[in-house]
Amino acid sequence: MCTLSWQYSPAGLDLFFNRDESLQRPEAGPPVVECRHGVSTVMPKDPLGGGTWIAANSQGLIIALLNNYRYPSRVPAGQSTSRGLLVRRLSSARTVAEVRAFLWGETLSRYPPFILLAFNSQPCGPFKWEWTGETLKETRDLAEMTISTSSLMPRFVPALRRYLVRQALKRCEPGQAVGRLLDLHRNKHGWPESVAIAMKRKGRATVSMSHIRVTETNLTFRYWPGFPGSNNCAAGVSVLQRSG
């Protein structure tokens, strides 16, 4: 369960990611800046799997991954490779073409189903890859502004969240879009928490929120641990100067 939304503007790209997880899972660490293969990267780290769900770099590239609940995993229990390691390995990619070449050349049968997206600062929309456990499907220049997954009603809940984003951005005045997306990711409008973008239900909840802004000159990664809205001040803010 996670929700990713984004908005392109003349200033660049704003992207929000709510990570939903079991409350039994260890808390992830805040984003850390590293140099990987000559590229400055920033990403939080999942202490359990060693990977991450979102990463950005000084080339202006963002990689994000969501679990794909619409398909059952075909990997035997205990034998799967963490999907988050894919994001970590792709975090230093310089172009979407590098991401594509890696995914089509990787042995994906060891990974449970996932949805992976690659963004750059060009307002043509991200690229999306959906791994079903059997096949990899690529979508270019994705027109939708929201990707969401849910283990609860895996078709209905994501569709509802997409609707909420469309309504929030409908007839939106210039300069209002980022604030409206931020409110949705914090559930400021009080939607039922079991289906809201900032979700809570027995044993599971949104455990962090990320906001990445990419402009011509730099990339800023803001990170809020815990349930969105409980802390208005980002616990981590990382700024990378653009080199590409």
Quote the pTM value: 0.95
Q: What is the pLDDT of residue 230?
A: 66
Q: What is the pLDDT of residue 23?
A: 94
Q: What is the pLDDT of residue 236?
A: 77
Between the alpha carbon of residue 120 and those of residues 89, 191, 233, the distances in Å are: 17, 31, 26
Instruction: Determine whether 105 is exposed, middle or buried from the number of CB atoms within 10 Å of its CB (0-12, 13-18, 19+).
Output: exposed
Give the CATH fold of the 2-241 domain: Penicillin V Acylase; Chain A (3.60.60)
Q: Are 142 and 117 in contact (CB under 8 A)?
A: yes
- Determine the Cα–Cα distance for residues 231 and 38; give it in Å rounded to an integer: 34
* Chain centre to alpha carbon of residue 212: 10
204-214 and 12-22 strand pairing: antiparallel
Enumerate the domain spans of the chain: 2-241
Q: What is the pLDDT of residue 144?
A: 85
Q: Are 5 and 16 in contact (CB under 8 A)?
A: yes
Q: Are 33 and 217 in contact (CB under 8 A)?
A: no
Between the alpha carbon of residue 92 and those of residues 51, 99, 118, 132, 149, the distances in Å are: 14, 10, 12, 25, 26
In this structure, what DSSP letter does residue 154 have?
T
Q: What is the pLDDT of residue 125?
A: 79
Q: What is the pLDDT of residue 183?
A: 95
- Determine the Cα–Cα distance for residues 180 and 212; give it in Å rounded to an integer: 15
Q: What is the pLDDT of residue 232?
A: 65
pLDDT lower than 70: segments of the chain: 230-233, 244
Q: Are 68 and 132 in contact (CB under 8 A)?
A: yes
Which residues are bridge partners to 22 per DSSP? 204
Q: What is the pLDDT of residue 49?
A: 87
Q: What is the pLDDT of residue 59?
A: 95
Q: What is the pLDDT of residue 212?
A: 97
Q: What is the pLDDT of residue 244?
A: 64
Between the alpha carbon of residue 102 and those of residues 18, 167, 170, the distances in Å are: 26, 36, 37
